[in-house]
Structures are given as C-alpha cells and as structure tokens.
Amino acid sequence: MAERQEQTAPDAVLTRIGQVVMLHHGGDREEARSRLLDLWAEVGQDGDPVHRCTLAHYLADTQDDPSDELAWDLRALSAAEELAAGSEGPTALHTFYPSLHLNLATDYVKLGHSEAARIHLRRARGAAGALADDSYGDGVRAAMIRLELRLGEADPPGGDPWGPPRRQPT
C-alpha cells in the first residue's frame, strides 16, 4: 500500500515549477527566472530528467536573449532524450516532443537560422501524432501551422498538415 501511495503522490518539484510558471504568466518574468534558476541548482545537472526537462523548458521562456533561450530549449530536449533512452516504451515526456521541437524551431527563426528551424519543425510535425485532441494539442498544432506559414512551408488549403505534402493536380 505504501508503494502505491508513493506512485500517486504529487511530485513536489513539479508542483513548485508549476507555481513559478503561474508567477511568470502573471507577468513577473524576472522573479520567475530567478526562482526557476534556484530550482535548477537544487535539481542539479544529474537530477531527474523529467524535472530538468520541465525546468529548462520554462527557463527558456524567461530568457531575454534568443541564444540563451535556445540553450535552455536544447537542455530540455537533451533531458527528454535521456529519459527516452533509458526507457523501453513511451516516456512521460513523449507528448512533449512536438512542443520541444517547435520551441527549438522558433528559437532558430529568431536567430535567423531558417534551415535549422525547418529541421525542428519537421521533427515537431513528425511527433505531433502523440498529441491528444485537447486544448494543449490544438495549441501546439496551431503554433506549428503558424510557423509553417512564416517559413513558407504550409501545404495548400485543404491539405493535411500532419500528413505527407500533397501534390497539385497537373
């Protein structure tokens, strides 16, 4: 019974991250960045990959410099890949891959690296099947479409943005 309670007990670090994210969404970016950095120091470079991925993902959002944002998003992806490498099946971060790659694509656009952006946008699109049909999934898919349009990668109207590119009738 104790083992079962441990498995269902809330994760205190993720709860704390969520509280800081609410602070950030409330408009206090500097304080959120400071608190997330404190949590990063507490979790450490070798901490739980779920914690590191989540922290790095949100730390990226608090950065002023696009290069710093990219560095944090790369840390988030690295932690997710570390978790996936140690697992035989889908991980807790499986549905996070579309967002992770989308964030990297956006970072590369900000830095003027359109080919790197396209690579990560394709990876985001390839991982999009893991997204649920809910508001989160809809938001990530909509953001992918907006970035595709910005990069000139969108299919013609009526095409399936998650399938292979359509050919125009000749």
Q: What is the pLDDT of residues 74-110, one digit of tens each?
A: 999 999 999 888 776 666 678 899 999 999 999 999 9
Sign of the dihedral through C-alpha 106, 143, 101, 52: positive
Q: Tell me which residue of 8, 3, 31 sits closest to 19, measured CA to CA.
A: 31
Ramachandran bin of 163, using left for φ above 0, alpha for ψ from -120 to 50, beta for the remaining angles: beta
pLDDT in tens, 11-40: 999 999 999 999 999 999 999 999 999 999
Pairwise CA distance, residues 167 & 24, whole Å: 44
pLDDT at position 84:
84
What is the pLDDT, as a whole number, of residue 93? 72
